[in-house]
Amino acid sequence: MVVDTTIAGITVGDAHPVRIMGAINLSRESFYKGSVTEPENVVPAAEQMVAEGADFIDVGARSTWPLADKITKEEERKRLIPALEQLTGNVDVPISVDTQCADLARDALEMGARIINDVSGLSADPGMAEVVHEYGCPVVVMASERVPGDVIGMDAVMHSLVRIIKKAENAGIAPEQIIIDPALGKWVPEKVPMYDFETIDQMERLKVFGKPVLSAISRKSFIGEVLDKPPADRLIGSIAATAIAVYKGAHIIRTHDVADTGDAIRVAEAIRGRNITAGKPDYIEALDDHSAKAMDNYSVEALDITSAKDAPGYFNRIGATGTGGRVMKDKTVYRVLKINNVTTTEALIIKQEALSRGCDAALPRDAVSHETDSVDLILMGTELQLNRLAAKLECQARDLPVIAGLVQTALQRFNDTIYRYG
């Protein structure tokens, strides 16, 4: 689904530049001490980020690092409000406030903040959704269940965001004002790095929601796990992960290191290219008057469905029934598998059975004439077709049941987090 919206006066979406949110950290308890801004440096730090390319400034006074010492709401207020007083009118970009407290959010919005960034996904404070609705402001909601970021794996991220978005919209928050955050980082002890690797690699799955995606990667622990380096030495690793997140569809990057991250973003989005769409501007000169007028009603966009689990969400958005979505979902993802060293006879049987199920197999010419004993073949089809083919091959003679098992295993491993990232 194409994303095209305006967040606090800044255009955000697939056809716009990836936006940068510079992070002003007022919390001495943070895991990355180099990110902490002293009260007297708030404005200079923000001005430097804007000069380096920040489109938004996000101000937070409470560390969300799970191992950080806890502070009271009063302490958060003592840090946050003076910083906002300094920034208001002195920084020429929208200010976002990173807080889970509804009354602090209200005060910040009254002072001129434009965006609320709630890592609890509107769950820590029951009044947060009401405040956001009342002020009509954009809100960043992070995937969470019981505590911030406790979603384990991309499937859990997706399920959590379905619930959070529904909650936000039911509270009256405008759909176009919701920004989603897939909760990268070690928010709970059991969230090991492979789950963050999976989330970044599969970030295109978030497109089903049709909302801007914010990615906060900067110097987090999964970078340290790969590099075996402390936060101060994780900049290059963070830039590498950020570039992949942008390539996979992130619209906003939250970072402590604006200048260097900005360079990576610009290169990554250039390589990513455009979403595939077609509409009136593509054909208007070649159409007669009647067809040109009709073209106003039509457009085409390519959907990037990489997991059949997400397909029902796309179907639901066009009004298809839940039953229909469940029936059709396995038809949405196409796989191409190479099977090595099968006998010519087995290859011909696989070809015949594939064609009878709507998929196909590419064979070398020698297989048809039986001029060779064994061949490699390329099998192609939807997940549904290939699973049905494997089920049929399980009942065949020779080594076809073994081949069927390998095909089924390969298909399952597309969705096996431990196999792919562990």
Poorest-confidence range of 26-40, 125-139, 350-364?
A: 26-40
Which residue has better confidence, 186 or 283?
A: 186
Measured between alpha carbons, how far is 208 from 223 in angstroms, rounded to an integer? 27
The pLDDT of 274-294, averaged and rounded, is 70
Q: Where would I find the H helices in 31-93?
A: 42-51, 73-87
Task: Mark whether 19 is an active-site residue.
Answer: no
Measured between alpha carbons, how far is 50 from 82 in angstroms, rounded to an integer? 20
Measured between alpha carbons, how far is 362 from 371 in angstroms, rounded to an integer? 16
For residue 372, the 8-state DSSP code is: S
DSSP element (H, E) containing 5: strand 4-7
Q: What is the per-residue pLDDT for 291?
A: 66
Residue of 254, 309, 329, 351 marked active site: 254
Measured between alpha carbons, how far is 328 from 254 in angstroms, rounded to an integer? 37
Name the residue type at position 397: A
Report the SS3 class of residue 294.
helix
pLDDT of residue 179 exceeding 70: yes
Domains, the chain, in order of start with CATH, read 4-272 (3.20.20.20), 277-329 (no CATH), 333-421 (3.30.1370)
Task: Mark whether 220 is an active-site residue.
Answer: yes
Q: Which long-range contacts (CB under 8 A, 24 or more apart) does 5-8 make?
A: 5/176, 5/177, 5/211, 5/212, 6/176, 7/56, 7/94, 7/115, 7/138, 7/177, 7/179, 7/212, 7/252, 8/56, 8/94, 8/114, 8/115, 8/137, 8/138
Measured between alpha carbons, how far is 40 from 83 in angstroms, rounded to an integer? 9
Q: What is the per-residue pLDDT for 290?
A: 65
- Nearest residue to 100 (alpha-carbon basis) of 148, 171, 55: 148
Q: Which two tokens stand for residue 66?
A: 């799970």
**Residues paired with residue 342 on neighbouring β-strands, in sequence order:** 375
Q: What angle do CA 187, 65, 252 make, to 5 degrees?
A: 75
Name the residue type at position 144: S
pLDDT tens sequence across 229-266: 999 999 999 999 999 999 999 999 999 999 999 999 99
Residue of 191, 220, 234, 309 marked active site: 220
Contacts with 368 (C-beta within 8 Å, 6 or more apart), sequence order: 348
The pLDDT of 135-143, averaged and rounded, is 98
Q: What is the per-residue pLDDT for 79?
A: 96
Confidence of residue 285 (pLDDT cuts 50, 70, 90): low
Which residue has better confidence, 109 or 287?
A: 109
pLDDT tens sequence across 384-396: 999 999 999 999 9
Which residue has better confidence, 229 or 367?
A: 229
Which residue has better confidence, 71 or 80?
A: 80
Q: What is the per-residue pLDDT for 187?
A: 94
- Nearest residue to 405 (alpha-carbon basis) of 421, 414, 417, 392: 392
Q: Which two tokens stand for residue 291?
A: 């067809």
Measured between alpha carbons, how far is 220 from 237 in angstroms, rounded to an integer? 10
Contacts with 288 (C-beta within 8 Å, 6 or more apart), sequence order: none
Confidence of residue 296 (pLDDT cuts 50, 70, 90): confident
Q: What is the mean pLDDT of the chain?
A: 93
Q: Which two tokens stand for residue 259?
A: 């200048």
For residue 201, the 8-state DSSP code is: H
Q: Which two tokens stand for residue 288?
A: 């007669």
Confidence of residue 327 (pLDDT cuts 50, 70, 90): confident
Name the residue type at position 1: M
Q: What is the per-residue pLDDT for 286?
A: 54
Q: End-to-end CA distance of the chain: give it in Å, rounded.
A: 30
Contacts with 166 (C-beta within 8 Å, 6 or more apart), sequence order: none
Phi, psi of 411 (to 5 degrees): -65, -40
Measured between alpha carbons, how far is 17 from 250 in angstroms, rounded to an integer? 11
Please report, rounded to a whole number, the percentage of residues in the chain having pLDDT higher than 90: 82
Confidence of residue 75 (pLDDT cuts 50, 70, 90): very high
- Half-sphere exposure in the Cβ direction for 3 (13 Å, CA): 29
Q: What is the per-residue pLDDT for 72?
A: 92
Q: Which two tokens stand for residue 319?
A: 């009004």
Confidence of residue 206 (pLDDT cuts 50, 70, 90): very high
